[in-house]
Amino acid sequence: MPPRERRTAAVGPNEEVPVPESVERPEAVEDPRRRIPRTDLLLAHPQVARASATMSDLVVRDIVRAAQARARAGEIAPEQVLDDVRAAIGDRPSSSLRPVLNATGVIVHTNLGRAPLSAAAREAVLDAAGYTDVEFDLATGARARRGAGARAALLAACPEAEDALVVNNGAAALVLATTALAGTADVVISRGELIEIGAGFRLPDLIASAGARIHEVGTTNRTHLADYTEALGERTGCVLRIHTSNYRIIGFTSEVGIAELAEPCRAAGVPLLADLGSGLLAPDVHLPEEPDAASALRDGADLVIASGDKLLGGPQAGILLGRADVIARLARHPLARAVRADKLALAALEATLTGTAPPVIDSLHADPDQLHQRTARVAERLGGRLIPHDGRVGGGGGAEVPLPGWAVALEAELAAPLRTGDLAVVATVRDGDCLLDLRTVPPEQDDRLVAAVDSARAVLAAAGEPDRR
């Protein structure tokens, strides 16, 4: 006998079907998403509310929404949302850039930010972070020349220059110089100096982008004085010498120095530019073949271009040094406004020039005996091997010039956990070893470096990796 029908269920607008009394209805299942804390309650939590002192409301809300989204996706339980928010707020730095210990031995490491600033430069950046008299004369209350302190420091460091101008990087300095001096006329340059720098940027393309025309002379391996003099004419805006700082051409070669070019350029009324790249203002005994600004100006260059964040050891900046009338033409050009240096770079540059030696100089001139002893101590603490290792200048300076030194050789598997540890350490992996070159590690960081290696080994052990010491 069929069960007695007492209730109905609708299936359409005018149709009902009976629901048997013997069929049990399932219990209503609570949606766990209903337990996710509301946004206003999360924002009101004391720790979350305090985060607004260092983070914008938008950033805090994004953190809250991200935790709620994880709960909705089932990645975490609703009860874990608050903990997730608190952890994200507690771990979130003000910037996504992470401090790194550079243990590669490459002093000016472009991928690691090139030159590390000196203590004086860092302090100057902090002082300049607020309001500052970057273009203001406090004595008269009138507008003043921008970056006067950095200009004075440059002229004191390079007395051969009549005037100086600072822009935001070396490429900007080159574009400003060739645009202001040549316009749409010819920039005469040797074929052997049509170089490509990092990330695929080619200097000829950079120069031509503002309208100047490249007039190539000579060949890849040999350029003579006659090649330049024959190119000088009414269409010539300037002659440019570019130091091939990141490579060398050896063998059957010939090039023309600044001193040889100066007289023909003066006779033709054509400015002679020297792009040195590496940023040396004066000769350095460790890099006898690296050109410097003082020597180039003494030899007759009308304008010298250098970078602030390479061998000078300062912030990213393009430095222009030379004749007062040439610098004045550059400063008046409309492009100068677009590429001018900000107050933080000006402050750091001045402090780099007037303070104690920056880390780049300390690394370049590291005492071999002290470096050997220090590396040996760290190797013993870590159970590693002490091996000879050549450092490098890097950053397009001192091409192929080795800096003899030492390194700690550890198991190669450590390289990855060292990079991703709480203290990021970048080493070199070579011939099955993870090499730590202390030339570029400040001595006061040795204990932290040892602790980072210990932590990396602990990570490998937790993952079941064998200890290969």
pLDDT in tens, 144-182: 999 999 999 999 999 999 999 999 999 999 999 999 999
Considering the domain architecture, whether residues 208 and 334 belong to the same structural domain is answered as yes
Residue 139 region, left (φ>0) first, then alpha (ψ -120 to 50), else beta? Answer: alpha
Whether the Cβ atoms of residue 347 and residue 125 lie closer than 8 Å to each other: yes
Cα radius of gyration (the chain): 32
Q: Per-residue confidence at 8, pLDDT binned at 50, 70, 90?
A: very low
Residue 6 included in any domain: no
Residue-level pLDDT at 395: 86
* Average pLDDT score over residue span 440-467: 93
Which pLDDT score is estimated for 20?
A: 44
3 state SS of 68? helix
Looking at the fold, whether 233 and 308 belong to one and the same domain comes out as yes
Whether residue 38 is predicted with pLDDT greater than 60 in this model: the reply is yes
Q: Are residues 449 and 415 in the same domain?
A: yes
pLDDT at 7: 46
Number of domains in the chain: 3
Same domain, residue pair 140 and 202: yes
Residue 19 — very low, low, confident or very high, per pLDDT cuts 50/70/90?
very low
- pLDDT of 54 reads 80
The CATH number linked to 438 is: 3.90.1150.180
Domain of 85 in residue numbering reads as 34-89
CA 273 to chain centre: 26
- Phi, psi dihedrals of residue 349, rounded to the nearest 5°: -65, -45
Identify the domain boundary among 314, 330, 355: 355
Q: What is the mean pLDDT of residues 441-453?
A: 97
pLDDT band at 250; cut points 50, 70, 90: confident
| Those residues with Cβ within 8 angstroms of residue 105's Cβ, 6 or more apart along the chain or in another chain | 389, 390, 391, 392, 403, 405, 407, 428, 435, 437, 439, 440
In this prediction, residues 440-454 reach a mean pLDDT of: 97
Is a pLDDT exceeding 70 seen at residue 13? no
Q: Are 250 and 291 in contact (CB under 8 A)?
A: no
pLDDT exceeds 70 at position 91: no
Q: Are residues 66 and 146 in the same domain?
A: no
Looking at the fold, whether 346 and 398 belong to one and the same domain comes out as no
Is the per-residue pLDDT at 469 higher than 60?
yes
Please give the Cα distance from 32 to 27 (Å, whole number). 15
pTM of this structure = 0.84
- Minimal CA–CA distance to 445: which of 368, 349, 372, 359? 359
Same domain, 323 and 451: no
Query: Are 339 and 392 within 8 A, CB to CB?
Result: no
**In the predicted model, is pLDDT for residue 92 greater than 80?**
no
- pLDDT at position 435 is 98
Q: In sequence order, what DSSP letters do the residues of 275-314 get, joined into one string?
A: EEES--SS--TT-TTS--HHHHHHTT-SEEEEESSSTT-S
262/342 Cα distance (integer angstroms): 33
**Tokens at 262, concatenated:** 């100066």
- Report the residue count for the chain: 469
Inform me whether the pLDDT recorded for 3 exceeds 60: no
Segment 45-84, tens digit of pLDDT: 988 888 877 888 899 999 999 999 999 999 999 999 999 9
What is the residue-averaged pLDDT of the chain? 91
Last residue of a domain, one of 304, 322, 355: 355
Q: Is residue 19 part of a domain?
A: no
Q: How far apart are CA 283 and CA 122, in angstroms?
A: 26
pLDDT digits (tens, 9 = 90+) for 187-205: 999 999 998 887 788 999 9
- 22: pLDDT strictly greater than 50: no
Do 172 and 234 lie in one domain? The reply is yes
Are β-strands 433-436 and 428-430 bridged in parallel, bridged antiparallel, or unpaired? antiparallel
Interval 104-124 mean pLDDT: 97
Bridge partners of 321, per DSSP, are 164, 304
User: Both tokens of residue 268?
Assistant: 């033709």
Domain membership of residue 1 (yes or no) is no
Give residue 9's pLDDT: 41
DSSP character at residue 25: P
Sign of dihedral through CA atoms 187, 193, 197, 202? positive
Residue 21 clears pLDDT 90, i.e. is over it: no
Q: How many helices (H) and strands (E) does the chain have?
A: 18, 15
Q: How confident is the model at residue 16 (pLDDT cuts 50, 70, 90)?
A: very low
pLDDT at 11: 41
pLDDT value, residue 18: 46
To the nearest 10°, report the CA torsion of 47, 48, 49, 55. 120
- Whether residue 296 is found in the same domain as residue 413: no
Which one of 15-24, 80-89, 306-315 scores highest in mean pLDDT? 306-315
Domain-embedded: residue 174:
yes
